[in-house]
């Protein structure tokens, strides 16, 4: 069994919107399809963060090559574009939803991206869950957690978890730090809220025994061609770039 379990980080799957100032988070549908096909061809199985957690903490030994697949923010195209591709290749994945922004747009990124995109509504997220995928939490409003007072921090983290659990009738065990912003105080709030694991934007492939609330990820961006994608996934290149 490998000591490395890469956790891939995606955002939006589809074309770059007209007027966007940044292309990086928009991975084209065809590019994503090629990446998922390559994973399957090379013997990797895409898994949820809950599945990855069991392996990374040493509780489960898997003879398979595993790769966790994560989608930040809960974009509608995660369901309309990515989900059929995931199912075609037998992969599972985790989508981190912002509980108080379901069915709206990612206005928190407008100043950075110059555009906004639709977020999945309740029906789309239920389709995601019904397909065997995992729903994770991404706070109530996509707040930068390190800037919040203690009471607001607790509400964003724990409140977002409870809102998703109440709305969808399931246990939400996985969290993702908006903007990647976290420190010891934020991590402790995530622990108190009852999350089993949390992903960061720290670059690198996750390894057995990693701190479950500070899991690094491999960034997959618009500009990454298939050979670079493979290097990031399967070699030490993914720990640096």
Let me know how long the chain is.
Answer: 241
Domain that holds residue 161: 4-239
Of 230, 241, 167, the C-alpha closest to 37 is: 230
Q: How many domains does the chain have?
A: 1
Least Cα distance to 74 among 93, 59, 91 occurs for 93
* Model pLDDT, residue 203: 95
What CATH number did the domain enclosing 85 receive?
Answer: 3.20.20.370
pLDDT at residue 1, as a whole number: 52
- The structure tokens listed for 14 are 């589809």
Question: Helices 226-234 and 29-41, interaxial angle, to 10°?
Answer: 50
pTM of the model: 0.96
The Cα–Cα gap between 23 and 233 comes to 21
Residue-level pLDDT, tens digit, the chain, 241 residues: 578 999 999 999 999 999 999 899 999 999 999 999 999 999 999 999 999 999 999 877 777 899 999 999 999 999 999 999 999 999 999 999 999 999 999 999 999 999 999 999 999 999 999 999 999 999 999 999 999 999 999 999 999 999 999 999 999 999 999 999 999 999 999 999 999 999 999 999 999 999 999 999 999 999 999 999 999 999 888 777 6
pLDDT given at position 239: 77
Res 87: pLDDT: 98
Angstrom distance (rounded) from CA 71 to CA 191:
21
Q: What is the pLDDT of residue 241?
A: 64
């Amino acid at each position: 069994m490998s000591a490395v379990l890469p956790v891939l980080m995606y955002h939006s799957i589809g074309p770059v919107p007209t007027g966007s100032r940044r292309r990086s988070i928009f991975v084209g549908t065809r590019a994503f399809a090629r990446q998922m096909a390559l994973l399957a061809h090379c013997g990797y199985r895409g898994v949820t963060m809950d599945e990855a957690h069991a392996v990374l903490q040493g509780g489960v030994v898997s003879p398979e090559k595993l790769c966790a697949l994560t989608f930040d923010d809960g974009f509608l195209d995660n369901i309309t574009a990515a989900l059929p591709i995931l199912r075609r290749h037998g992969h599972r994945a985790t989508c981190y939803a912002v509980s108080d922004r379901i069915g709206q747009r990612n206005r928190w990124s407008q100043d950075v991206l110059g555009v906004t995109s639709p977020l999945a509504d309740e029906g789309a997220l239920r389709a995601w869950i019904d397909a065997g995928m995992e729903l994770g939490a991404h706070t109530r409003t996509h707040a930068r957690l390190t800037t919040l007072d203690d009471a607001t921090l607790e509400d964003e983290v724990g409140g977002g978890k409870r809102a998703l659990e109440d709305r969808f009738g399931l246990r939400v065990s996985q969290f993702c730090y908006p903007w990647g912003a976290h420190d010891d105080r934020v991590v402790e709030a995530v622990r108190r809220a009852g999350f089993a694991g949390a992903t960061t934007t720290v670059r690198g492939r996750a390894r057995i025994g990693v701190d479950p609330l500070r899991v690094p990820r491999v960034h997959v961006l618009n500009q990454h061609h298939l050979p670079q994608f493979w290097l990031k996934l399967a070699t030490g290149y993914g720990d640096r770039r």
